Structure 1
């Protein structure tokens, strides 16, 4: 029995959105409890050459919405990068979830043996089979950036653990 790409993608993304929503809620509470401006947390990074926490959340939504929209053959919903608070980031994730769930399963599951061509850096394109695009590009990028959100917050003392990341 094969599992449709729409089911694989939406199930994993839904878990990731729920996990990040909970993690960001804990981060907001931690910042308030310690009387730290949320901007300090949102601009935090593990090393100088990596994206800040805020950008990591934006990339979770960007990879998921753009990737699955491309898979469905639709133009992605535009989500501007204007977040300044944890509530803004949580709203962004809710918007990303809504955009992903609005994509028709039939369009996501079309042409199981087809390919997807997508931008892969400035002036570069890459082509992958549809299943590899979802599993090895879209979901891999979403989970990478989600884990960076977890790691950044954990590094500054927000009490999150594996159960939070797994949304259980």
Structure 2
């Protein structure tokens, strides 16, 4: 069996989002134990010119659902970017996971050569489906996942590599 676009994306995105849920749960425990306002955590960033934790989570979710929708020709659910609490970020991840769970491998067949166009305010990016996965989806998703982890670690949330990687191996 060949390694499909589905196999290269959806299981990895689901795993990463589940790990992010665990990381956010530890952030909530940290906030409760240290009497830190969780909204302060959600608004935290690594540097003044970087996006806050809330946007890191939102973009990771958007990247995951965008990948699934674009490669499988499925309507992408639209989420408002209005989360201000750790619980709301958890719910956004849950909604993203629920969408990803509706996708099946057959819907991704032939998507390697599919034309994917991403239009941003300052640039339009054109990809084949395979290049979209390898040059945009996976690097972008892991950048925002890593940055969310780093923001929380920087604040003092006790996280380790295992929290980021989750369960690996058989």
Instruction: Compute the TM-score of the two structures, normalised by the length of structure 1.
Output: 0.92
Alignment length (residue pairs) = 167
Question: Please, which moves more after superposition, 76-85 or 156-165?
Answer: 76-85
Question: Please, which moves more after superposition, 86-95 or 53-62?
Answer: 86-95
Name the structure 1 match of 2:80.
80
Cα separation, 2, equivalents of 1:3 and 1:63: 21
Q: Which runs of 5+ in 2 are unaligned?
A: none
Instruction: Compute the TM-score of the two structures, normalised by the length of structure 2.
Output: 0.91
Shift of the 11–48 alpha-carbon distance from structure 1 to 2, 3 Å rule, reads: same
Shift of the 72–41 alpha-carbon distance from structure 1 to 2, 3 Å rule, reads: same
Name the structure 2 match of 1:105.
105
Deviation at 1:85, TM superposition (A): 1.5
Shift of the 125–115 alpha-carbon distance from structure 1 to 2, 3 Å rule, reads: farther
Q: Is the contact between residue 111 and residue 130 of structure 2 (CA under 8 Å) also seen in structure 1?
A: no
- Quote the RMSD (CA, aligned, Å): 1.5
1:29 paired with 2:33, answer no
Name the structure 2 match of 1:63.
63
Name the structure 1 match of 2:128.
129
Which runs of structure 1 show a deviation greater than 6 angstroms over 4 or more consecutive aligned residues?
none
Name the structure 2 match of 1:150.
149
Q: Is the contact between residue 24 and residue 86 of structure 1 (CA under 8 Å) also seen in structure 2?
A: yes
Cα separation, 2, equivalents of 1:100 and 1:135: 19
Cα separation, 1, equivalents of 2:161 and 2:63: 23
